[in-house]
Structure 1
Amino acid sequence: MNRFVILSGCSGGGKSSLLEELRRRGHAVIDEPGRRIVAEELAGDGAALPWNDLPAFARRAIALSIADRAAMSDRTGWIFFDRGLVDAAAALAHATGDERMMHDLCGRHRYHDRVFLTPPWPEIYVKDDARQHAFAEAVAEYERLCAVYPALGYEPVILPKTSVSKRADFLLARLSA
């Protein structure tokens, strides 16, 4: 059984809060590659920011996601990834129109068959330095991911809009089922 579990979905849908809860419960959590890249780019020249050069940003996120997977290869137990390789490859496919690379790359680097998606939740959506897109853009990305994951052979599970603790309980119960 694959222990690498993706938490994806709508930007601003509560992924980070849920991952913090999973971390608090003792699970390994890998922070979102995109946020790490944005922080580095904002401190530097900003060339690979998603709003400046989406293909460059996505390529960096792909490389970072592969490195994250390799770094976790010896860990035991569930390992939760905030977005990761599939989201980065989907972003590159969206930016370039070339889906072949996404299918090849994601076929070679599989995650757990169930992927957990946070749905659009306008009541908690907040823009910040790393999330500069409008809510409508976040929803469009969510809709693309809802199509990409099944096309790659994953079973999407939509997380309920409820407390962080109840979301964590729901997610862990679905993994055990």
Structure 2
Amino acid sequence: MRQRRVVLSGCSGGGKSALLKEMARRGHATVPEPGRRIIAEERRTGTRALPWIDPASFCQRAIELAIEDAAHAKGATVIFDRSALDALIWFDRTGTELAQTTRQQVLSLGYDRRIYLTPPWPEIFESDDDRKHGMTDALAEFEALCDRLPQYGFEMVLVPKRPVLARANWFEAQLEEGAAA
């Protein structure tokens, strides 16, 4: 049986990580966001592939880490907090060159065709030491996902704005529906 690779993406500060944490608590296989792990590593090593210093290097590293994540993911269904698609779409959005072989590798990672997107939710959005951008940048990122994902053949499903437990119940129902399809 083929592994399901379910992507949870969307607007920064839209509650993805909280939902992923609840899904893990419920026993689902999850993979944390590459970006936050890259930032932690860059701070530890003192290197500069940070989104506010060198976004192209950061996004290239995000693709590399997401490819590693996909290769090492365990479980029949794995939920990814963001994916290589997010970084690929950053390259598209900014017009920054990306090798065609890398682009093809990202598109062949076997992510489910249905991508779950957290919509903009200004009431819960917060900047922090790892998310230095504001709501305007988060909206541009979300709009780019909405624009490009269908062009790559993905269907977008908006995650409803609900408390975390209600969102997790909804998401589990979505996963069950997708498994039956």
Q: Same fold (TM over 0.5)?
A: yes
Structure 1 partner of 2:121: 121
Offset of residue 170 of structure 1: 1.3
Identity of aligned residues (%): 45
Q: Contact 1:9–1:116 at 8 Å: present in 2 too?
A: yes
Contact kept, 8 Å, 2:10 with 2:142, in 1: the verdict is yes
TM-score under structure 1 length normalisation: 0.92
| CA distance in 1: counterparts of 2:103 and 2:42, whole angstroms | 28
2:3 and 2:76 in contact (8 A); partners too: no
Instruction: Return the offset for 1:98.
Output: 4.1
CA distance, structure 2, for counterparts of residue 42 and residue 76 of structure 1: 31
RMSD after superposition: 1.7
Give the C-alpha shift of residue 113 in structure 1.
Answer: 1.4
Which residue of 1 is the match for residue 94 of structure 2?
95
Which residue pairs with 2:143 in the alignment? Answer: 143
Which deviates more from structure 2 when the two are superposed, residues 142-151 or residues 13-22? 142-151
Normalized against structure 2, the TM-score is what? 0.90
Match of 2:108 in 1: 108
Question: Deviation at 1:171?
Answer: 1.6
Residue pairs, 1:1-177, within 5 angstroms: 2-72=3-73, 75-98=74-97, 101=100, 103-177=103-177
Consecutive unaligned residues of structure 1, counting only runs of 5 or more, are: none
Give the Cα–Cα distance (whole angstroms) in 2 for the partners of residues 176 and 146 of structure 1.
Answer: 24
Question: 2 CA distance for matches of 1:60 and 1:100?
Answer: 13
SS at match of 2:94: helix
Deviations 1:82-126 (A, max 9, x none): 001111211233334447737523322120111100000011001
AA aligned to 1:129 is: D
For 1:56 and 1:32, the matched residues in 2 are separated by 16
SS in 2 for 1:21: helix
